[in-house]
Amino acid sequence: MKNVLAIHDISCVGRCSLTVALPIISAMGCTCASLPTALLSTHTGGFTGFTCLDLTDEMRKILAAWRPLGLKFDAVYSGFLASGRQIDIVKDAIKSYRTEKTVAVIDPVMADDGVLYKIFDAAFVEEMKKLVPFADVLVPNMTEAMLLTDTKYTDGPYKPAFIEALIKELKAMGAKNVVLTGVFFEEGSLGVAVSGEGKVETYFVPRIEGSYHGTGDIFGSVLTAALVGGKTLIEASIAAVDFVVASIKATPASADKKYGVDFETALAERDKR
Ligand code: PXL
């Protein structure tokens, strides 16, 4: 059985990070081990008064305890990190657990819609830049891609040349492949730009209005499991976009968007097919 190491926080309520990665990656037929980065009462988007226990020291202890086990993973998938100090831990995990076939999927979770998440600062962005060369697949949203490349934030529609330049710069920083999310060339559409060895490929779907929490983690989880399952980068990206769309469509219009989307319904529907 293929196995994935997911390095994300546990947000106890709000459907994101590990509470999304574990069920989705398991349902797609991979064992999913976890290295929790933090324990939060809820995620940080739209909730106030949340608690956050930084697990940096515990992560080091967990990795030390794993050392005699000689673990290897088919993918290491990192997401929300609680502090810049965790960057080195993620690098170590990628180096320790990779084989020549392992894919390191790095989602540089830190910002959206032109704004850094409130627990991060400019120093964290600088730390995150250091993780880029460790990515076999870097999965930034548009805001994160602009922060990582010191590009002034602009909202779309974007020009294809702008998207290609962003991807080129992220690759120049050391990312082997880039899957850029939140791309659109015209109003009413939304999708991804994907770059492997060759030219940039895109996949767009009709935009669904509204901003739903946790969809980036759903996207990254499907992408990772699909890559481990042998899909190409563009095939895995299309599967991830389509599953996010199915999850949003499964969510009642009246739902409070900070509690995320009904990916569980979409998983059950997928099983029936
Ligand atoms: O979905 C990204 C994410 C993960 N974990 C935590 C977050 C966020 C985004 O806000 O706050 C704790």
Residue 205 has pLDDT above 90, yes or no: yes
Any residues with CB less than 8 A from the CB of 266 and at least 6 apart, and which? 243, 246, 247, 249, 250
Whole-number pLDDT of residue 210: 84
Q: What is the C-alpha separation between 134 and 63, in angstroms, rounded?
A: 18
pTM: 0.97
- Residue whose CA lies nearest to ligand 1 atom number 12: 43
* Ligand 1 geometric centre to CA of 141 (Å): 13
Q: What is the C-alpha separation between 184 and 187, in angstroms, rounded?
A: 7
Q: What is the C-alpha separation between 114 and 208, in angstroms, rounded?
A: 19
Residue 29 has pLDDT above 90, yes or no: yes
DSSP β-bridge partners for residue 180: 193
- Residue-wise pLDDT tens digits, 224-256: 999 999 999 999 999 999 999 999 999 999 999
- Residue whose CA lies nearest to ligand 1 atom number 7: 43
Pick the atom of ligand 1 nearest to 40's CA.
Answer: 12
Asked whether 74 lines ligand 1 (CB < 6 A), one says no
Q: Are 7 and 97 in contact (CB under 8 A)?
A: no
Give the pLDDT mean for 4-11. 98
Band the pLDDT of 271: cuts 50, 70, 90.
Answer: confident
The residue assigned the tokens 């409070």 is 256
SS (H, E, C) 81-109: CCCCCHHHHHHHHHHHHCCCCCEEEECCC
